[in-house]
Amino acid sequence: MKRHLFSLLLILLLLLAGCQSREVNNTTSVLGLGVDWKSNQIETSVQMTKPIPPEQSGQQTPFVTVSTRGATLSEAARKIFLSIPRQTIWAHSSTLFLGEKLVQRDLGLIMDLLTRNVEVRKSSLVFITQGFSTKEIMQSQTPLEAYSCLGIRDLLQAQEKQVGIYVPMKLGEFIYRLSTPGIDPLVPQVTLEKQGDKIIPTLKGSAAFRGRKMVGSLNEDETRGYRWIQPQTIQGGIFIIPSPIDPQKKVTLELIRSRSKTRATVVDQKIKIQIEIQAEGNFYEQNSTGAVLTPENIKIMEELASREISRQCNASIARAQSLGSDIFGWGRQVEATFPETWMQVTSQWNEVFSEVEADVQVKFSIRRTYLTDRSFVFR
């Protein structure tokens, strides 16, 4: 009896597997999705892998980008199948590009399908295109990476450790921030720039949102300030301060780790935000001669570093408040700590946020100097 039952289950599993299987030769993998606004319609672009014979692999790009338009996102997306003869596999899709014209118009045009469709991965990294359409960005080529969608994704992830400016935004977090009062999204922007004889994708600033629209951008300095204020531990990146022995020269410091704590207070019915940042890093470079690495100078550099971090944070706060975009989630802080106050200001939070006082306190410590604890001396 058990043997017959086992055989029946095995047959059922094989039948189910057969119903869900796809012929490999009839499929193509989707690497990225782009959504834009053009000619009063939604334009959808999809980057897909294409089969290339080995003898032709060095003569053409290994991907194809197909674009279609429609009155709705679903119509535009389904029209893609009028021009490609293969089934699409979305398991490798990891990037979502939203056009600048679209997000400045109304995200309500697309968000329902992005949250509802099971094919759209919530772990996809979101980018806002700047100055170019999503199709142009996806058709570009990135150095060292055959597929531009994967190259742009890797570019964002690599800069976290090496440069330390941009904070990745996943689609799931993007959806949460758009649907939750008291917090707004800040999304990395990507554009095209000429380097030598090539035009390649480059990260350039971040897009700030309020409600259903993009309301402005933060530059790299302001974006780095936003990164310092993040509540989770951040690691990696460099920043520059004046040399303690010659303010015209520069010193480069490398971040080991940093952690921010944000606390909301209400004094005389006025909301205030206190931000404390504990950070430590390494002495990385000086572009001058002279004995910089003395105990006295190290203390001066720690103070200069604390001031520079505070300056970047305040620049980010000032820009966000000028846009009325609560990218820091201070509204969530007020709601959690002072629910009665939050009930009073919820309906006009964007205006209230712009008037909130912020106090940034930073303590930076230098831990290491790598291979030598002395400055280079010419003989």
pLDDT tens per residue across span 17-31:
444 455 555 677 788
Q: What is the overall mean pLDDT for the chain?
A: 88
Q: Tell whether the model's pLDDT for residue 252 goes beyond 80.
A: yes
Q: Which of 194, 218, 242 is the last residue of a domain?
A: 218
Region 155-179: mean pLDDT is 95
Q: Which of the four pLDDT bands, split at 50, 70 and 90, describes residue 11?
A: low
Region 256-266: mean pLDDT is 95
Same domain, 37 and 112: yes
Same domain, 284 and 312: yes
Residue 161 in domain = yes
Q: Is 373 exposed, middle or buried, given 0-12, 13-18 or 19+ CB atoms closer than 10 A? A: exposed
Same domain, 194 and 249: no
What's residue 19's pLDDT?
A: 47
Give the total number of structural domains in the chain: 2
* Percent of the chain whose pLDDT exceeds 90: 67
Q: Which has the higher per-residue pLDDT, 319 or 287?
A: 319
pLDDT tens per residue across span 100-127:
999 999 999 999 999 988 888 899 999 9
Residue 19 in domain = no
- Range in 180-184, 281-285, 368-372 the model is least confident about: 368-372
Asked if 217 contacts 205 with a C-beta cutoff of 8 angstroms, the reply is yes
Compute the C-alpha angle 140/121/43, nearest 5°: 50
3-state secondary structure the chain: CHHHHHHHHHHHHHHHHHHHCCCHHHEEEEEEEEEEEECCEEEEEEEEECCCCHHHCCCCCCEEEEEEEECCHHHHHHHHHHCCCCEEECCCCCEEEECHHHHHHCHHHCHHHHHHCCCCCCCCEEEEECCCCHHHHHHCCECCECCHHHHHHHHHHHHHHHCCCCCCCEHHHHHHHHHCCCCCCEEEEEEEEEECCEEEEEEEEEEEEECCEEEEEECHHHHHHHHHHCCCCECCCEEEEECCCCCCCEEEEEEEEEEEEEEEEEECCEEEEEEEEEEEEEEEEECCCCCCCCHHHHHHHHHHHHHHHHHHHHHHHHHHHHHCCCCCCHHHHHHHHCHHHHHHHHHHHHHHHCCCEEEEEEEEEEEECCCCCCCCCCC
Residue 303 in domain = yes
Asked if 32 contacts 97 with a C-beta cutoff of 8 angstroms, the reply is yes
Residue 9 in domain = no
Same domain, 183 and 35: yes
Six-digit token pair at 323?
Answer: 């846009």
Asked if 338 contacts 266 with a C-beta cutoff of 8 angstroms, the reply is yes
Same domain, 255 and 201: no
Residue 13 in domain = no
Same domain, 125 and 192: yes
Q: Tell whether the model's pLDDT for residue 313 goes beyond 90.
A: yes
- Range in 76-85, 257-266, 283-292, 325-334 the model is least confident about: 76-85
From the centroid of its chain, how far is CA 290? 39
Same domain, 89 and 204: yes
Residue 65 in domain = yes
Q: Which of the four pLDDT bands, split at 50, 70 and 90, describes residue 229?
A: very high
Q: Which of the four pLDDT bands, split at 50, 70 and 90, describes residue 348?
A: very high
Residue 224 in domain = no
Six-digit token pair at 335?
Answer: 């709601």
Q: Tell whether the model's pLDDT for residue 204 goes beyond 50.
A: yes
Q: Which of the four pLDDT bands, split at 50, 70 and 90, describes residue 6?
A: low
Compute the C-alpha angle 156/88/133, nearest 5°: 45
Same domain, 325 and 247: yes
Q: Is 84 exposed, middle or buried, given 0-12, 13-18 or 19+ CB atoms closer than 10 A? A: middle
Q: Which of 163, 193, 218 is the last residue of a domain?
A: 218
pLDDT tens per residue across span 120-163:
889 999 999 999 999 999 999 888 888 899 999 999 999 999 99
Q: Tell whether the model's pLDDT for residue 373 goes beyond 80.
A: no
Same domain, 212 and 100: yes
Same domain, 267 and 345: yes
Same domain, 195 and 236: no
Same domain, 72 and 167: yes
Q: How far apart are CA 249 and CA 118, in angstroms?
A: 54
Residue 322 in domain = yes
Phi, psi at 113, each rounded to 5°: -70, -35
Q: Which of 218, 247, 279 is the last residue of a domain?
A: 218
Residue span of the structural domain in which 97 resides: 27-51+60-218
CATH number at residue 278: 3.30.300.210
